[in-house]
Amino acid sequence: MKNGYRVIDMDTHVNPSFDTLVKYMDPSFKARIEELDPYLRVQDYGSGKFTTITVAPYPYDRFPGEAPQSENTQLTAGGRGALEKRVTKRSSHHRIDPQPGVQDEDASARLGDMDMEGRDVDLLIPGTWCTAVSGVKDVTLIEGLYRAYHNYIAEYCAQAPDRLKSMVLIPGADPAWAVEEVRRLKKEKWVSSVWPLLPPDMPVDHPCLNPLWDEMNDAHLPIIFHSFFYEPPYFPGYRDVWGNAAVARTAAHPWAAARFLSYLIVGQIFDRYPNINAAASEVGHGWLPHWVTRLGEMVNYVGGATPQTKYEPIDYVRMGRFRVGAEPFEGPEITKFCVEMLGEDALMHQSDYPHGESHFPDTVEMVMEWDFWKDKPDSALRKFMSGNAESFLRLL
């Protein structure tokens, strides 16, 4: 709690090392570990070495003003990611560092940080490796890694099952396995949502995913989405941003979320599955009013290109069928506009803890002190800090 308000953070991260994932692999899958060797990358953080998975990282190496080095960028398994050695471990936002180990196995340290900041519930989102492996051709390798994550996160969340939540990772390349995995896990207390990791050529409204939506609709399980940008599945237009990492990351998250939302609407996922809502974390929120307004005009103007939906695009957001985590760096003016344009049910608190973009341990207090909340009914702030997330994550 913070100042009498319950707080749910919709964007916090875990990033278990490959060595940690190995501990949680099913015994039958451990026999295949050598098949993952090409994708392993060892990084030295000074305090120790960390092994992670990279599949086909797009480097984004061009510095502004330079000519592109090559039109044929080499994508190398196990290669350097576009953020490696480019992001400080402690940004100017931080007052103190999060405790070590919170992204790996130290849930007790995370709980201490949560108490310090006033966070009641953390939604735990795995790191870039979970999207990267969607680019592995052998889907059974993806499934073995996702099962290892599910085993790992179940034990992590078990240390505080009312405060730590995560999502089921499913590969779009094998809908049958996805359905079975959701069916196996849907009643677990740590399960709050499902994250479909789709191959590059599979839209979210592909009919082969209908059995998954049927299973999720029966379980009242929502869809969660978190964009990454330099690994598969790459964001829309990833080759057309002229090769700079900062510009690519600026574009990646909102572009990917906008495409995702568009097809949930025009693909009639919301209309056909009334118990499935969706949300996106770490994609920003200032783009949302403009995008759904523009989408509404385009589906009317480009006649016959989309089916008739029950509501206008903006209405799905206003009624809470689609929500986003609000990026604190976008500030009070953009947030105020979004609340006034979209209503009280569209936005949720997020911080990006324990990454450098968070303002730990001050994010909660900073957001709650924005002046414009004083001119809104108390319900607006309560929904923003926890109410919208509670209903989305099945916590009510």
- Least Cα distance to 384 among 317, 314, 335, 321 occurs for 335
pLDDT by position in tens, the chain (length 396): 999 999 999 999 999 999 999 999 999 999 999 999 999 999 876 667 889 999 999 999 999 999 987 656 678 899 988 888 787 655 556 568 899 999 999 999 999 999 999 999 999 999 999 999 999 999 999 999 999 999 999 999 999 999 999 999 999 999 999 999 999 999 999 999 999 999 988 999 999 999 999 999 999 999 999 988 999 999 999 999 999 999 999 999 999 999 999 999 999 999 999 999 999 999 999 999 999 999 999 999 998 999 999 999 999 999 999 999 999 999 999 999 999 999 999 999 999 999 988 999 999 999 999 999 999 999 999 999 999 999 999 998
The distance from CA 365 to its chain's CA centroid, rounded to whole angstroms, is 23
Domain count of the fold of the chain: 1
Structural domain contains residue 159: yes
The answer to whether residue 2 is domain-embedded is no
> Does residue 3 sit within a domain?
no
Distance (Å, whole) CA 223 – CA 280: 9
CB 171 within 8 A of CB 177: yes
| Amino acid identity, position 153 | I
- Residue 291 belongs to a domain: yes
Give the whole-angstrom CA distance, residue 171 versus residue 47: 34
Report yes or no on 183 lying in a domain: yes
Q: Please name which of 368, 373, 351, 369 lies closest in space to residue 360, comparing C-alpha atoms.
A: 351
Q: What is the DSSP string of 320-371?
A: TSEEEEEPGGGHHHHHHHHHHHH-TTSEEE---BTSTTS-TTSHHHHHHT-G
Q: 106 near 98, Cβ under 8 Å?
A: no
Determine which helix (DSSP H) or strand (DSSP E) holds 64, and give its type and residue range: none
Residue 157's domain is classified under what CATH number? Answer: 3.20.20.140
1 belongs to a structural domain: no
Whether residue 200 contacts residue 234, with contact meaning beta carbons closer than 8 Å, is answered with: yes
- 3-class secondary-structure state, position 126: strand
Residue 20's H or E segment, with its range, is helix 18-23
Does any domain span residue 378? Answer: yes
Asked whether residue 129 is domain-assigned, the answer is yes
* Length in residues, the chain: 396
Q: Which two tokens stand for residue 79?
A: 């290669």
E strand or H helix at 264, and its extent? helix 245-266
Instruction: Tell me how far CA of residue 196 lies from CA of 5, 126, 235, 274, in angstroms.
Output: 32, 13, 15, 18
Which structural domain range is residue 216 located in? 8-392
